[in-house]
Structure 1
Amino acid sequence: MFQLVFKGECAPGTDMATARSNARALFKASVEQIERMFSGSPVVIRNKLDEEQAEKYRAVLKKHGMVAYVQPMSGNAAHNQTKPAPAATPASAIPEPVKPVSATANPQHSTGAPGVEPGDRLTVAGDKVDDILAGSTLGLDPVGVTLAEPGEAPPPMFQHLDDWTLAPAGSDIGIERDLPPHVVPDVSHLSLADNESKKQ
């Protein structure tokens, strides 16, 4: 069995904003889910797929500007999914000691490998992914395609310009105010004493 893993990568020729918009419309996801999808950490989009189904989903994501990876599911994870209480097995057949479920519920935090079931991570589409992908009509044009023909904008219309004039350079165009005249005090009764008068 295979699983489809997304690591937040965009297809060549697709910018991040376009890929995010396509993902939100494709998976009917919330803003928080989209942020987690494009955080850079591996996110399991769908699991328990045969190789043909996984490649089909990968092609759909690529068409919408997202790079996904088809990876084989972990044998231990698939075994635990079908048989939660494993029977006694010879020690030579087990590569590592069997640990409690609480210690292995989320191994991706320590290894970063996307070999875990999606229950501990983001479940973007869930069981409805088939209907979502089948009903999608989104598509991407090749790079350089004009999406909308440019239209001719009408020239701007300026009214009442005939009543406007330009003042000469240096003119004071502020508001004129009536200011009182400067008052010059009467100093006719004042005089200056010479140096000899000061000595006396």
Structure 2
Amino acid sequence: MTDKDLSKSQVERSAAADLFDLVFRGEIAPGNSDAEVKQRVAVSFNLDSAAADQLFSGAQVRLKRGVDKPTAERILQRLTDAGAIAMIVPSSVQPETQESLAQDPLSLAPLGTNVLDDNEEVKREKAAIKKPVLPSLDHLSLEPVGTRMVRDTEVPPIKAPDLDTSKFSLE
């Protein structure tokens, strides 16, 4: 690798390190209602109701990828003023590939969010109707620590083998 290649690589890494993503999970600041915050965000960012609903679905959304710090802070301030909670995180996207990436496939849903699909809910409800038959556990009991688990009456007697040891001697 030449000095020219090294400096180009360092510049690319430095440029990527100076980029940030703005992450939003649909959380709102305390003291605000969901509907009001959704409305203010929609007005502030000129969104239709379907886009605003998708934004507040509870899934993690990267609103902006690979932007500089002042841009990320400006967008964060607009969200904060509307009553929404978002985060600025270091970008993991290289500048040349950021347009080709889709939304993150995995995220954490806010507490209390229904994460089941409608079909899964129907299956779960049908399964709840058919209660499984559990075996009776009435014959089981707990014993104190150190108690022998097998009672003497449960162990068959051990018959001592009849061995002739007369031919053996100790010398």
**TM-score computed with the length of structure 1 as normaliser:** 0.40
Q: Which structure has the larger Rg?
A: 1
